[in-house]
Amino acid sequence: MSYANSYTEPVVLGQVLTTHDADWSVLWAYGSSRKYVPSASTLHVGKHVSEDPDKTRADEDVGFLVIEAGSTTIDGRDCYADVSSDTIRGVDNGPPYSLPLSGLGTVETAVVGLMAMDGNDGGWARLYGSSPVDGSGIDAAIDEDELSGSERRHTTEQVGYLACEE
């Protein structure tokens, strides 16, 4: 897939937009292989079904945003986007895992998304806890289905994130 613009450090966030299939699927983005985040020259975006033994799914529409990592202003609101280090683990591994924010005050909006996939369990990035966002960081974790096991432990992953002030 080609970018519409040029990026040095792209952050890719999105979701599956339609429900043509009653079974679930999750958006993810990766670079030159599933274990690498999107780069300035390589982007793949699609959906996955983690460990669901039923791998057959109808086609779905996906929507995604690509934004340059760092500080920016969107509609007059200060925002910060970045890709985490390869340290975000599962909800059964003792989260939260903190994603640092830079230069923001009171954060109103935050989103996270899986970028690359090291583990074989699939999974998706999620905000974690009852108050996952403040001016200094975002609390996140990797969640996964329980179709082949009830545990939700997960190897380390990288996530993209975007946070904006009020």
Residue 52 is predicted with a pLDDT of 81
Q: What is the pLDDT of residues 85-110, one digit of tens each?
A: 999 999 999 999 999 998 888 888 99
CA nearest to 124, candidates 81, 87, 90: 90
Interior angle at CA 129, CA 127 and CA 132, nearest 5: 55
- Which residues are CB-contacts of 6 (< 8 A; sequence separation ≥ 6)? 40
At 122 the pLDDT is: 81
The residue written with tokens 């990766």 in the block is: 30
The pLDDT of 138-157, averaged and rounded, is 85
Q: E strand or H helix at 16, and its extent?
A: strand 10-16
- Domain boundaries in the chain? 10-66, 70-165
CATH 2.60.40 fits 70-165, yes or no: yes
DSSP lists the bridge partners of residue 29 as: 45, 115
Tokens representing residue 17 in the block: 């937009």
